[in-house]
Structure 1
Amino acid sequence: MNGFVLGGVSSGVGKTVATLSIIQALEDAGHEVQPAKAGPDFIDPSHHEAIAGRPSRTLDLWLCGADGLRRNYRRGEGDVCVVEGVMGLYDGDGSSTAMVAEALDLPVVLVVDAKAGMESVAATALGFREYADTIGRDIEVAGVVAQRAHGGRHEQGIRDALPDDLAYFGRIPPNDDLEIPDRHLGLEMGGEAALPRAALREAAESLEAERLAAVASEPPTPESPAPSAASAEPVDATIAVASDAAFCFRYPATLERFRERAEIVTFSPVAGDPVPDADAVYLPGGYPELHTAELESAGTLAELGNLAADGFPVLGECGGLMAMSQSLTTAAGERHEMAGILPADVTMHDRYQALDHVELEAVEGTLTADAGETIRGHEFHYSSADVDGDARFAFETVRGDGIDGDHDGLTEYDSLGTYVHVHVESGAFDRFLERVEG
Structure 2
Amino acid sequence: MQGFVLAGVSSGVGKTVATLAVIQALEDAGYDIQPAKAGPDFIDPSHHGAIADRPSRTLDLWLEGETGVRRNYARGEGDVCVVEGVMGLYDGDGSSTAMVAETLDLPVVLVIDASAGMESVGATALGFREYAGAIDRDIDVAGVVAQQAHGGRHEEGIREALPDGLEYFGRIPPNPALEIPDRHLGLEMGEEAALPREALREAAETLEAERLGDVASAPPEPAATELPEPVDATVAVASDAAFCFRYPATVERFRERGEVVTFSPVVGDPVPDCDGVYLPGGYPELHADALESSDTLAELGDRASDGLPIFGECGGLMAMSRSLTTAKGDRHEMAGILPADVTMHDRYQALDHVELETARSTLTADAGETVRGHEFHYSSIDVDGDARFAFETVRGDGIDGDHDGLLGYESLATYAHVHPESGAFDRFLEAVVG
1:241-390 equivalent positions in 2, closer than 5 A: 241-390=237-386
- Aligned residue type for 1:217: S
- Aligned residue type for 1:386: D
CA distances 1:61-102 after superposition (whole Å, capped 9, x unpaired): 100101100000000000100000000111100000001001
Query: Do 1:239 and 1:281's aligned partners in 2 also have CA atoms closer than 8 Å?
Result: yes
- Aligned residue type for 1:220: P
Q: Specify the alignment match of 2:161 in structure 1.
A: 161
Q: Tell me how far apart the structure 2 counterparts of residues 103 and 75 of structure 1 sit (CA, whole Å).
A: 16
Q: Percent identity over the alignment?
A: 82
- Aligned residue type for 2:142: A
Q: Specify the alignment match of 2:95 in structure 1.
A: 95
Shift of 1:36: 0.0
Q: What runs of 5+ residues in structure 1 fail to find an aligned partner?
A: none
- The count of aligned residue pairs is 434
1:6-405 equivalent positions in 2, closer than 5 A: 6-223=6-223, 225=225, 229=226, 232-405=228-401
Q: Tell me how far apart the structure 1 counterparts of residues 402 and 223 of structure 2 sit (CA, whole Å).
A: 35
- Aligned residue type for 1:177: A
Query: Do 2:358 and 2:365's aligned partners in 1 also have CA atoms closer than 8 Å?
Result: yes
Query: Do 1:185 and 1:380's aligned partners in 2 also have CA atoms closer than 8 Å?
Result: no
Equivalent position SS for 1:95: coil
- Aligned residue type for 2:33: V
Equivalent position SS for 2:221: coil
Q: What runs of 5+ residues in structure 2 fail to find an aligned partner?
A: none
Query: Do 2:74 and 2:222's aligned partners in 1 also have CA atoms closer than 8 Å?
Result: no
CA distances 1:202-225 after superposition (whole Å, capped 9, x unpaired): 000000011011111111122352
- Aligned residue type for 2:270: P
Q: Tell me how far apart the structure 2 counterparts of residues 117 and 333 of structure 1 sit (CA, whole Å).
A: 46
Shift of 1:103: 0.6
Q: Tell me how far apart the structure 1 counterparts of residues 348 and 325 of structure 2 sit (CA, whole Å).
A: 15
- Aligned residue type for 1:241: V
Equivalent position SS for 1:123: helix
Equivalent position SS for 1:87: strand
Which has the higher mean CA deviation after the structures are superposed, 177-186 or 360-369?
177-186
Query: Do 2:114 and 2:121's aligned partners in 1 also have CA atoms closer than 8 Å?
Result: yes
Q: Specify the alignment match of 2:420 in structure 1.
A: 424
- Aligned residue type for 1:242: A
Equivalent position SS for 2:26: helix
Equivalent position SS for 1:248: coil
Q: Tell me how far apart the structure 1 counterparts of residues 320 and 137 of structure 2 sit (CA, whole Å).
A: 43
CA RMSD of aligned residues (A): 0.8
Shift of 1:413: 0.7
Query: Do 1:254 and 1:429's aligned partners in 2 also have CA atoms closer than 8 Å?
Result: yes
Q: Tell me how far apart the structure 2 counterparts of residues 96 and 180 of structure 1 sit (CA, whole Å).
A: 23
Q: Tell me how far apart the structure 1 counterparts of residues 411 and 245 of structure 2 sit (CA, whole Å).
A: 19
Equivalent position SS for 1:191: helix
Shift of 1:164: 1.7
CA distances 1:400-419 after superposition (whole Å, capped 9, x unpaired): 11001111000111000000
Q: Report the TM-score, using the length of structure 1 for normalisation.
A: 0.98
Q: Specify the alignment match of 2:3 in structure 1.
A: 3
Equivalent position SS for 1:180: coil
- Aligned residue type for 2:236: A
Q: Specify the alignment match of 1:406 in structure 2.
A: 402
